[in-house]
Chain A
Amino acid sequence: MADTRKITVTVNKAPYTRTVETRLTLADFLRHEIGLTGTHLGCEHGVCGACTVLLEGRTARSCLMLAVQADGGNIVTVEGIAPNDTELHPLQQAFQDNHGLQCGFCTPGMLTTLIEFLGDNPDPTEIEVREAISGNLCRCTGYQGIVDAALDAAKRMRK
């Protein structure tokens, strides 16, 4: 018999209650149980950063958490970053304007990581930005555009 638990997790301000196997990762919960496929899975062992989400405002790799551990918790995924259906978050807009995306696979992790980082450090140097995204791999190697976007977003968000 599979070990299951009934959990309630708030994702992008909406509560979701599901009965899940306790070995289900948070990443698979987000993608398969509630259908939010914006959170990407690259390596599934905590190297690539693509699955990064915000848990209580702090970034976490959702492949390295069990869904049961998020029971009662508050999660924001890439789908929850924009203020509404028609507008982009300033960070997303900066990514578009600075060619911060190529294939887009790493983008959800880059965005969630940078949202936390720019909250902690609203006026970062380029080196600080590069260090902040050191746990996020872009296999298009499009880092320059991503760093430019982060610095541009910081400027826009300070206004």
Chain B
Amino acid sequence: MKPPPFTYHDPRTVAETVDLLAQLENAKLLAGGQSLMPMLNFRYAQPDHVIDLNRVDGLSYIRAESGGLRIGAMTRHRDIEFSDVVRKACPLMADAIRFVGHRQTRNRGTIGGSLAHLDPAAELPLVCATLDATIHVAGRNGERAIPMAKFPQGYMTPAIESDELVVAVSIPAAPARTGFVEFARRHGDFAIVAAAVALDIANGAIKSARIALGGVGPAPVRCTEAEKMLAGQKPTADALRAAAETCRSIEAMEDVHAPASYRQHLATVMTRRALEAALG
């Protein structure tokens, strides 16, 4: 048997889940299982308790909310992929979701799981960082909201207490001109670098730009220098190239897939392409 021994729990409500988290030592939450199950099969993760969220009521929904979206944590990637509500209210997420794994992965994987796992190259956390999303978590003292900018505390470490779980994500109304591109070795793999862009355009000029990169740092990073440089500018090829070039100075990770300098190079290329896609 591949996974290590654990005790399995399948609560039906968020309150029951929170109680279990508070009572149990060394417990892991199981959402779509596309990251935790491989970790169990490899025995990288050896929890004493697995708390399965798949039978918890009321965590799977997509709602239009004040021009933006509210998405329940257990909403599967597939439901986001095929949602007209998402396509309309958040085209950036609709574009990004097609880069998440494969069909089988998207059928099971969830947005809450992706946020809680917080892989540095994951697409949905990158979209959340770009659009200043808010992550809603539930704990013993009720719900609290964490701005995405404060959600990652480090490499694969979200700002969630051990007795809390992600219950929803809200994404504010976003500008319609968006672009999402990524570079991966194989289709469906995690990106080496991914770039997401949302532009507010008025009278042929960029009023404001939101640009973020995945796979470069330990968590999604906002390219504030490029954002500032583009604000108020006409979107000429030179302006885009100059703004993208600033991403070369972002501190980058180095690992078996790519050295830091290569990630920094990709950061400039992906940023420029995402800007072009947003304007295209």
Contacts and interface: CB of A to CB of B under 8 A. Distances in A.
Contacts of B52: 66, 68-69
B37 A134 contact: no
Contact of B41 (A44, A60, A68): A44
A68 B7 CA distance: 12
Contact of A64 (B33, B78, B187): B33
B33 A65 contact: yes
A60 B42 contact: no
A3 B6 contact: yes
A148 interface: no
Interface residues of A, number: 32
B104 A59 contact: yes
Nearest to B35: A46
A82 to B, nearest CB: 22
Interface in A55-109: 58-61, 63-66, 68-69
Contacts, number: 93
Interface in A33-56: 44-46, 49, 52
B1 interface: yes
Interface string A1-38: 01101000000000000000111110010000000000
Contact of B187 (A58, A61, A134): A134
Nearest to A2: B5
Interface string B27-66: 0001001100110111000000010101000000000000
B11 interface: no
Nearest to B188: A134
Contacts of A136: 102
Interface of A: 2-3, 5, 21-25, 28, 44-46, 49, 52, 58-61, 63-66, 68-69, 113, 116-117, 131-132, 134-136
16 contacts: A2-B5, A3-B6, A23-B6, A24-B1, A25-B2, A25-B3, A25-B41, A45-B38, A45-B41, A46-B105, A58-B78, A63-B41, A66-B37, A69-B33, A69-B54, A116-B103
